[in-house]
Structure 1
């Protein structure tokens, strides 16, 4: 098949192949050998529309398009559990509903409540009798009618009765019985069999795990309530980028809604140390203080982070630096990303690692780049075509050389 090239590339072919006809095959055959240089003069580069720019470090790049999940901070979450075993007879709220602290969420019919109330009434009666006995004996002792040993025994019985009553009262409080209900129980001697399940804080019902008529065990979870301001954002960041992040960096999330596009913003509060084995990402946690009301827990979003980049004279330490280039300066060849580096009277295809993007710009890393490197920003189609032709030709020459060498080596 005959390969058709643009006229300007046909003019370049002699310059491309002659200097490298002896070495290109070896260069492509060696896995780690740097890619060959495309010899292109300044006049030829101008004719092909190739423009170059100095590769400068990004003072504060923007890593965009990072996958993230909206979460509720741990200290703003409460799980409401059944205080006693019983049956759910009524549910007064639903998932997604806002509730106030102390608001009734559900009612639970529990035989165990009757036993706890009975024990409380018995303890209250015993405490009342012990109080009366203590008062009487204190008066008799003051009048010298009884011995001190008797009044001490009465005092001990009073203290034991008081402790028993306090313990029974606390059991009912843990079961969800309010102080008002306890007072009514002590005065009226009525034994209600339903427990009112109340909200422990103001927030939103995130989850309802029971239905009316369902029997539950003690400590079974019934509801999950959360306060939705502020919110957390758990961002999955490539390990190569996470090393340059720190607490306090700005984070933004674009939010689309019926009212139009808006954004939520916050700051990084924690950079994880564990790298996911499969994804090779690090979890970075941010707190969203503005615009969090437009997001919902569990929502998957894309976050952007202001990436700080250390500055200084270009040196051997440039291997870990991040650079910001236009997307038009990147060439994708065989699933790899390259930039064309200007070297002498030509260009070399340099593979790079992209770590994020911001609009029309891309953040990239490569040990071979520094702040003095010049790369092609326009005319990449011509460079890519010429480099592909050179590579294919070199690979063919290398394959032919190997085929010719094998019979000789086998003799």
Structure 2
């Protein structure tokens, strides 16, 4: 009987201890949940609200694209890189260009001097001088041959000399135009030992390969000019993602030195061959002209492969803490002692989706949340986050 009593007593003690432990754990969980709720609540006075320049708005439906993130560079097509040369060579008499110099179509680039230019002009003028006489002799022999007065051989000889001179005149005229000399001016007596080279397009000088006094051969490049009007985006897309890229899709891109400044382009050509690194080239036309873009610049780009209507908020309304994303919902407003207003905000956990044009797609982790009823902070969310977490840390500090 004594043993039975001791057994019951021991069991009672164990049960009592278990109830005490359970009660403590329950209390601890309640306190933790209460602390968790409180740490996500921020209260501001009206003065603090105005000083922080907070703004309250609503979640809205927006069309946001699903984007493919890729890299690339600014480039120009081959026909926009132009090499300037002189087909017949000569000495550089004048040049006033530096790499990066902006040029307009028709602007003087250089002056080339060559003594042979005089000979070319002389040959042309002599051909013109003989033209009238040879034409008259040809017409005379033609008439005599028709009247059977002159021999056919004499007529054919006159015809051959006349036509050969005409061909020579045309050839020399084409040569003078290629050099840059004006045949009409030469015919009027203006003979020159030099010729001007003008810009064939508007753009900028990429490189200069010569200087004043240097002789350039026909195959030598004097300078390179790039037509800036044909700049485009050249992107690298890998083969497992290329099926989603189509002509006409929107491209947003930024430069390495300005990652938050987005510019726009549009897909106009998708490559048809896969390179050794399993990538395909995609070309995009710029939506507008950007003066600061140069060929070879690295870009980070996003290709909009699809779009749909989603719930979205301004990007600055979303904050990140502890590896999670939140927005601050406006809970209530009430008066405290002295009649001063107090505004209450709560951190609401969300998932983020795609971002576009300063807006981010969101989804509340609490599936019961009514999106249309939520009022949230659209500007100044980081200020609230700092206040919420600083207050929490201060409270924990006092507890130690």
Match of 2:266?
Answer: 267
Match of 1:305?
Answer: 303
Q: Work out the CA distance in 2 between the residues paired with 1:327 and 1:157.
A: 91
Secondary structure of the residue that 1:248 maps to in structure 2?
A: coil
- Structure 1 residue 137: Cα displacement: 4.0
- Structure 1 residue 90: Cα displacement: 0.9
C-alpha RMSD over aligned residues: 4.4
- Structure 1 residue 91: Cα displacement: 0.7
- Structure 1 residue 274: Cα displacement: 4.3
- Structure 1 residue 309: Cα displacement: 8.9
Please show how residues 169-188 of structure 1 align to structure 2 within 5 Å: 169-177=173-181, 181-188=182-189
- Structure 1 residue 168: Cα displacement: 1.5
Q: Are the counterparts in 2 of residues 90 and 212 from structure 1 also a CA contact under 8 Å?
A: yes
Match of 1:62?
Answer: 67
Q: Return closer, same or farther for 1:300/1:86 CA change in 2, 3 Å cut-off.
A: same
Secondary structure of the residue that 1:169 maps to in structure 2?
A: helix
Match of 1:382?
Answer: none
1:159 equivalent to 2:163? Answer yes
Secondary structure of the residue that 1:264 maps to in structure 2?
A: strand
Q: Work out the CA distance in 2 between the residues paired with 1:327 and 1:140.
A: 103
Q: Are the counterparts in 2 of residues 229 and 293 from structure 1 also a CA contact under 8 Å?
A: no
- Structure 1 residue 293: Cα displacement: 3.6
1:250 equivalent to 2:254? Answer no
- Structure 1 residue 228: Cα displacement: 1.9
Q: Are the counterparts in 2 of residues 70 and 297 from structure 1 also a CA contact under 8 Å?
A: yes
Match of 1:195?
Answer: 195
Secondary structure of the residue that 2:244 maps to in structure 1?
A: coil
- Structure 1 residue 262: Cα displacement: 5.1
Q: Work out the CA distance in 2 between the residues paired with 1:142 and 1:113.
A: 43
- Structure 1 residue 141: Cα displacement: 6.3
TM-score, normalised to structure 2's length? Answer: 0.54
Q: Work out the CA distance in 2 between the residues paired with 1:327 and 1:81.
A: 59
Match of 1:108?
Answer: 112
Secondary structure of the residue that 1:229 maps to in structure 2?
A: helix
Secondary structure of the residue that 2:183 maps to in structure 1?
A: helix
Q: Work out the CA distance in 1 between the residues paired with 2:143 and 2:98.
A: 59
Q: Work out the CA distance in 1 between the residues paired with 2:103 and 2:140.
A: 50
Q: Work out the CA distance in 2 between the residues paired with 1:131 and 1:111.
A: 31
Q: Return closer, same or farther for 1:197/1:291 CA change in 2, 3 Å cut-off.
A: closer
- Structure 1 residue 70: Cα displacement: 1.0
Q: Work out the CA distance in 2 between the residues paired with 1:272 and 1:327.
A: 40
1:99 equivalent to 2:98? Answer no
Q: Over alpha carbons, which structure has the higher Rg?
A: 2
Q: 1:348-407 deviations in whole A, cap 9, x for unaligned?
A: xxxxxxxx9979989xxxxxxxxxxxxxxxxxxxxxxxxxxxxxxxxxxxxxxxxxxxxx
Q: Are the counterparts in 2 of residues 209 and 221 from structure 1 also a CA contact under 8 Å?
A: yes
Q: Work out the CA distance in 2 between the residues paired with 1:141 and 1:99.
A: 60
Secondary structure of the residue that 1:290 maps to in structure 2?
A: coil
- Structure 1 residue 102: Cα displacement: 3.2
Q: 1:300-337 deviations in whole A, cap 9, x for unaligned?
A: 22221112499xxxxxxxxxxxxxxx999xx9xxxxxx
Count of aligned residue pairs for this structure pair: 268
Secondary structure of the residue that 1:125 maps to in structure 2?
A: helix
Q: 1:7-44 deviations in whole A, cap 9, x for unaligned?
A: xxxxxxxxxxxxxxxxxxxxxxxxxxxxxxxxxxxxxx
Match of 2:379?
Answer: none
The farther-off stretch of 148-157 and 243-252 is 148-157
Q: Return closer, same or farther for 1:303/1:197 CA change in 2, 3 Å cut-off.
A: same
Q: Work out the CA distance in 1 between the residues paired with 2:319 and 2:166.
A: 78
Secondary structure of the residue that 1:268 maps to in structure 2?
A: strand
TM-score, normalised to structure 1's length? Answer: 0.53
Please show how residues 25-104 of structure 1 align to structure 2 within 5 Å: 60-64=65-69, 66-104=70-108
Q: Are the counterparts in 2 of residues 251 and 304 from structure 1 also a CA contact under 8 Å?
A: yes
- Structure 1 residue 131: Cα displacement: 2.2
Unpaired stretches in structure 2, ≥5 consecutive residues:
1-35, 38-62, 309-317, 324-353, 362-400
Unpaired stretches in structure 1, ≥5 consecutive residues:
1-47, 50-57, 311-325, 332-355, 363-411
Q: Work out the CA distance in 2 between the residues paired with 1:223 and 1:248.
A: 36
Q: Work out the CA distance in 2 between the residues paired with 1:59 and 1:99.
A: 41
Secondary structure of the residue that 1:253 maps to in structure 2?
A: strand
Q: Work out the CA distance in 2 between the residues paired with 1:274 and 1:139.
A: 68
Match of 2:211?
Answer: 211
Q: Work out the CA distance in 1 between the residues paired with 2:68 and 2:157.
A: 77
Q: Are the counterparts in 2 of residues 253 and 264 from structure 1 also a CA contact under 8 Å?
A: yes
Secondary structure of the residue that 2:287 maps to in structure 1?
A: strand
Q: 1:147-173 deviations in whole A, cap 9, x for unaligned?
A: 565444423321221011111111222
